[in-house]
Structure 1
Amino acid sequence: MRLENLCRLLNGILLNNPAISEINEFGFDAKAIKRGYAFFSNDSNEDDISQAINNGAYAIIATKIGSIQDKEIAYIKVEDIRLSVIRLVRFMASEKSLVFYHINKIQKSIISNMHIKNAKLLPNRIDDIFKVIQNANFNEIFFSDDIEILNQLSPNYQSTALTKNIETINSNSMFFVNFIFDEIFYQNINIPQIFLKDLCPLLETLSGNNIHFKLNEIKSLDHFEPIFIDKNFYPVSFGTSFRAIIVENDIELFKLEANYLANKFNQSDIIITASKDTKLDIENIVYFKKLDDIKSFKNFRYVLMLCNKEELMERLNEKEEATLF
C-alpha cells in the first residue's frame, strides 16, 4: 500500500519524510515484524518500537512518538490505534467483498462447537480481527455476535432469518432434538429443544450460502447444560437419573430458560436458583449463599442454576475426594 494512501486511510499524520514509499504488511507484535512491515504500537513502547525497527519495519504507527530513531522509515501519528485499525480493516473487507452476519449467543456457540467450511467466526480482539480479515479470501463469510464491531466494519451486515417451517418430532429428552427442516431429517441432535428456533435460522443461512456443516459434531453448547445427579447430589451418567441440575452462566439466557421450564413443568417439579448477589425478576426464584446450599433442595426434578459449571462440579465431586482418605 502506498504510504500516502495509508496515512489518509488511518487519518494519521506523517511526521517525517522517509525514504520508503510503500508498506507490504502490517503487524502488532514487535518480535514478529519483518522487512517491509508497518508496526502498530498499541502502547507507544519505545523498546517495542526499537525492536520493530531492528526487525525491518518500514513504518511505525502510534499515538505517541517520542523520537524518530530512523529517518529512513515512516512515523505515522494517529489519535486512536484501535479506530485506525478498524478503518484499515473496513477498507480491506470492502476490497475483498467480505460478507458479515450478525448471530446471537446461542448461534455463536453452535458454530463454535462444530466445523464449518467457507466461513469463520469473527474473533473478539481487534488485532485478531485484523489478521483474519487480512488473510481472508474474496467473498468469504464471517459471523459475529458483536453488533458494535459489525457496525464499524460493515454497516450493511446481514442477519440470520427463519423463512421455512420447522417440524418437531417428539423426543424423550429436552436436552436433544429430532426435527425436519428444509426437507432434511435431523435426529438426536445434541442441542436442547429450547434452542431449536435459534438453530434453524442459522441452518438456513449456512445452507443458503453453501457452507458445509455437521450438526452431529456438537457435544455441548455450554448453555442449559444438565448434570444428572443421584439422591446425594453426586453426578451420574447422562439420563441415568430422573433428577438433574441445569447449569447456565448467562443471565439473559437464564431468564429465558426459567420461563421455558415454568411453562413446561409443574412448579413442584422445578427449582430456579441463583446467587443472593444476583437480584432477578423471576417468579419463585430461590437464592443461595454458597453453591453447597443446593444440596438442601428436596423433591424436585430439575434445578435451573445460574453459576459456573466447573465450580459447581467441584462442589458436587467433593464426596469422592473425601472417601480417598
Structure 2
Amino acid sequence: MKIETLVNLIDGELLNRPFISEVVNFTKDIDKVSRGSCFFAEDESLIPFAIKNGAYAIIVSKDTKILDKEIAWIKVDDFKKAIFKIFKYENLKHKIYLADKITLKLIKAMNLDKKVVILENEEDFLKAINLTNKFLLMDNKKKNIFPNKEELKSISIELEMINLFKSRYKKEEINLPFVYKNSFSKAINFFESNNLKYTLEFEIDRFKPVFVDSFLREVEYGSSDRVLITGIQNDEIFFDELNYLIENTKHAKTIVVDKNREELLTHRFNFAMIVGFDVKLNEKEEKGLFDD
C-alpha cells in the first residue's frame, strides 16, 4: 500500500517526509516485523527493534522521536480504528461469511487451515489483511458492516446422540452436545464445501461438563453422579440449551444456578446448569502418609 494512501485511509498525520513510498504488510507483533512492514507501535520501546527488522512505516498514537528519517512515521488517534479501516479497504470486495456464535465457536475449535480467520479483534483483522487466499468469518450480528457477505447454511448430516455431552458423527465419537447439531452442520458444510482442513477432535467451552463430588471438588469424567454444566450465558441460545437439558434429564435432579442462587450447589443435585458465572471449586485434600 502506498504511504499516501495509507495516511489518508486512516486519517493519520505524516510526521516526516520519508524516502520509502509503500509498505507490504501490517503488524503489531514485533516478532512478525519484516522488510517492508508497517508496525503499529502500541509499545514505543519496541520501535528500535521494528526498525532493525526492516519496518518501512511506524504508526504511533502520540508525538514520537523520529529515529530513522527514511521510513514513514504516522500519528493516529486510535490504533483499533486505523486497523479496521485498513482491513475494510483491503477486503471491500472480499466475501465475509456470517454465522451464529456457536457455529463460530465450533469452526474455531475444529479449524486446521491457516486460510480461515474468524474476525474477533484487531489481531484477526491484521492477520486477514496480510493473507491473499483467505476465508473470513464474522458474527452475524455485525452483518451490516460489509456489503459482500454470505450466511453459512446448514446441511443434512447423520448425527447420533450418545449422551448429554457427546454425539457420534461418521462413526466417530465427538465432544458435541446434540443441541448444537444445526450449528455443527453449518461448520461441516463450511469446511467441506471450501475444501478446508478440520478436525473432529475438538471441545468448546459451552455446555461443558465438570464432574464433582459431594464437596464440590472436581473428579474424573464420568466418575460422579453430580455434574456442573459450564460456559452457559443467558442469551439467545440459553432456552434451547435449557429445554435440551430438561428433556434429557427427566429422571434426575436438575437445577439452574446463577450468581444469586449459588447456595443451591450445597444441596442435592445431579445436573447443575451454571449461568453467567464461574464456580469456584473446592480443592481435594491431599492424603497423608498413612491414609488409604
- Tell me if both proteins adopt one fold, taking TM over 0.5 as the criterion: yes
Q: How far, CA to CA, are the matches of 1:89 and 1:4 in structure 2?
A: 17
Q: Could you say which residue in structure 1 is the equivalent of 2:137?
A: 143
Secondary structure of the 2:88 match is: helix
Confirm whether residue 257 of structure 1 aligns to residue 260 of structure 2.
Answer: no
**What is the CA-CA distance between 1:23 and the residue it aligns to?**
2.8
The structure-2 alpha-carbon separation of the partners of 1:323 and 1:105, relative to structure 1 and needing over 3 Å to count, comes to farther
Matches within 5 A, 1:110-121: 110-117=106-113, 119-121=115-117
**What is the CA-CA distance between 1:88 and the residue it aligns to?**
1.7
Q: Could you say which residue in structure 2 is the equivalent of 1:78?
A: 76
Within the candidate set 96, 113, 125, 1:100 is matched to 96
Q: How far, CA to CA, are the matches of 1:34 and 1:207 in structure 2?
A: 34
**What is the CA-CA distance between 1:50 and the residue it aligns to?**
5.4
Q: Which runs of 5+ in 1 are unaligned?
A: 180-184, 277-286
Q: How far, CA to CA, are the matches of 1:35 and 1:204 in structure 2?
A: 39
Give the partner amino acid of 2:3.
L
Contact 2:83/2:125, CA 8 A, preserved across alignment? no
Contact 1:106/1:198, CA 8 A, preserved across alignment? yes
Q: How far, CA to CA, are the matches of 2:64 and 2:42 in structure 1?
A: 14
Contact 1:120/1:141, CA 8 A, preserved across alignment? yes
The range that moved more, 68-77 or 47-56, is: 47-56
**What is the CA-CA distance between 1:234 and the residue it aligns to?**
5.2
Contact 1:271/1:303, CA 8 A, preserved across alignment? yes
Q: Which of structures 1 and 2 has the bigger CA Rg?
A: 1
Secondary structure of the 1:202 match is: helix
Q: Could you say which residue in structure 1 is the equivalent of 2:38?
A: 38
The range that moved more, 71-80 or 193-202, is: 71-80
Confirm whether residue 221 of structure 1 aligns to residue 221 of structure 2.
Answer: no
Q: How far, CA to CA, are the matches of 2:31 and 2:173 in structure 1?
A: 48
Confirm whether residue 129 of structure 1 aligns to residue 125 of structure 2.
Answer: yes
Runs (4+) of structure 1 moved beyond 6 Å? none
Q: Could you say which residue in structure 2 is the equivalent of 1:206?
A: 191
Aligned residue pairs total: 288
Confirm whether residue 244 of structure 1 aligns to residue 213 of structure 2.
Answer: no
The structure-2 alpha-carbon separation of the partners of 1:26 and 1:302, relative to structure 1 and needing over 3 Å to count, comes to closer
Q: Could you say which residue in structure 2 is the equivalent of 1:193?
A: 178
**What is the CA-CA distance between 1:83 and the residue it aligns to?**
1.9
Within the candidate set 264, 286, 290, 1:321 is matched to 286
Contact 2:227/2:272, CA 8 A, preserved across alignment? yes
1:156-193 Cα shifts (integer Å, max 9, x gaps): 2322222x445554x451211246xxxxx454322111
Matches within 5 A, 1:17-96: 17-29=17-29, 33-42=33-42, 45=44, 47-49=45-47, 52-53=50-51, 56-66=54-64, 68-94=66-92
Contact 2:33/2:53, CA 8 A, preserved across alignment? yes
Give the partner amino acid of 2:136.
F
The structure-2 alpha-carbon separation of the partners of 1:36 and 1:237, relative to structure 1 and needing over 3 Å to count, comes to closer
Q: Could you say which residue in structure 2 is the equivalent of 1:177?
A: 167
Secondary structure of the 1:90 match is: helix
Give the partner amino acid of 1:200.
S
Q: How far, CA to CA, are the matches of 1:186 and 1:212 in structure 2?
A: 19
Within the candidate set 304, 308, 317, 2:273 is matched to 304
Q: Could you say which residue in structure 2 is the equivalent of 1:283?
A: none
Q: How far, CA to CA, are the matches of 1:141 and 1:18 in structure 2?
A: 35
**What is the CA-CA distance between 1:114 and the residue it aligns to?**
2.7
Give the partner amino acid of 1:3.
I
Secondary structure of the 1:247 match is: strand
RMSD between aligned alpha carbons?
A: 3.5
Q: Which runs of 5+ in 2 are unaligned?
A: none
Q: How far, CA to CA, are the matches of 2:193 and 2:136 in structure 1?
A: 14
User: What is the TM-score of this pair, normalised by structure 1?
Assistant: 0.71
User: What is the TM-score of this pair, normalised by structure 2?
Assistant: 0.78
The structure-2 alpha-carbon separation of the partners of 1:48 and 1:113, relative to structure 1 and needing over 3 Å to count, comes to closer
More helix per residue:
1
1:198-222 Cα shifts (integer Å, max 9, x gaps): 211222222222223332x12x322
1:253-300 Cα shifts (integer Å, max 9, x gaps): 555423332344449731111211xxxxxxxxxx125xxx62x322x4
The structure-2 alpha-carbon separation of the partners of 1:165 and 1:9, relative to structure 1 and needing over 3 Å to count, comes to same
